[in-house]
Amino acid sequence: MGKIEWAMWANEQALASGLILLTGGIVGVAGQFRGWQFAAYAVAAGVFVCLLEYPRSKRAKGTSVERTGQYCFTVCVKAFGPLTRNYYVRAFLHAAICVPGGFMLATVLGCVCLGIASLIYLAAAIRGEHWEPILPRKETRKPVAQSIKNPPQNPPPRPPPEMRRKQAGDLEKSAYDNPMSVTDDE
């Protein structure tokens, strides 16, 4: 838990808006509604928004949870550099994309939802957030410590031999429990 990163909510909202825009567009085109050209645009815009918003950003604080299979999308989105990194660009982009959706009822809902996502992105941008790709961590070999070159000369300190020797008289203390079965009949 920590301070709210608005971009996370904006991302969910934008992804949902993309899907709604896409659905409204498909309905408009399939039903051959008046103004179906706007619906066709909405299909394309919806797909574009979904592709852009699918990869989650890495969180500034805390663990980031990836969406399934987002790695390829991360790579594509990362390739656009500052255009996708900056949330001001995203806010204005979404605001611009959503406008043609307002000209037809089937896509109006997608338009309004995307508009809201754009506003949340604007809030995120004002707070200084930006998009970071989630990349798999590279395993770095730990450099060999200096102490490995000088082995110890003396054995480690041990309690006196009387205590070390297993007390044969006390069966309880000298027996130990195997965590896994070591007999072969199971």
Partner 1 sequence: MANCIVNYGFSAFILFFYTRHLLGSALPWARAPAAVLNFNCMLILLPVCRNLLSLLRGSFVRCSRTMRKQLDKNLTFHKLVAYMIALMTAVHTIAHLFNLERYNNSRQGLDDELSTALSDLADTENTTYLNPVRITNLDPQQIPTYFAFTTIAGLTGVVITLALILIITSSMEVIRRSYFEVFWYTHHLFIIFFAGLVFHGAGRIVRSQQRTNPPHNTTFCKDHPDDWGQIPECPIPQFAGGFPQTWMYVIGPMVIYLCERLVRFIRYMQRVQYKKIVMRPSKVLELQLIKNGFKMEVGQYVFVNCPAISQLEWHPFTMTSAPEEDFFSVHIRSAGDWTDKLIEIMKKVPEGAEGPKLGVDGPFGTASEDVFDYEVSMLIGAGIGVTPFASILKSIWYKFKDSDPKLRTRKIYFYWLCRETHAFEWFADLLQVLEKEMEERGMGDFLTYKLYLTGWDQSHATHVMVHFDKDTDVVTGLKQKTHYGRPIWDKEFEQVRKENPTSIVGTFLCGPEALGKVLEKKCAKYSDVDPRKTRFYFNKENF
Whole-number Å distance between alpha carbons of 40 and 103: 12
By the rule CB under 8 A, 99 interacts with partner 1: no
Which region among 1-9, 42-50, 74-82, 121-129 touches partner 1 (by CB under 8 A)? 1-9
By the rule CB under 8 A, 20 interacts with partner 1: yes
By the rule CB under 8 A, 74 interacts with partner 1: no
CB 111 within 8 A of CB 101: yes
Whole-number Å distance between alpha carbons of 169 and 57: 64
By the rule CB under 8 A, 145 interacts with partner 1: no
DSSP codes, 94-111:
HHHHHGGGGGSHHHHHHH
- Token pair listed for 17: 């808006």
Site for partner 1, rule CB under 8 A: 1-5, 8-9, 12-13, 16, 20, 23-24, 27-28, 31, 33-35, 56, 59, 62, 65, 102-106, 108-109, 112-113, 116, 157, 159, 163, 179-180
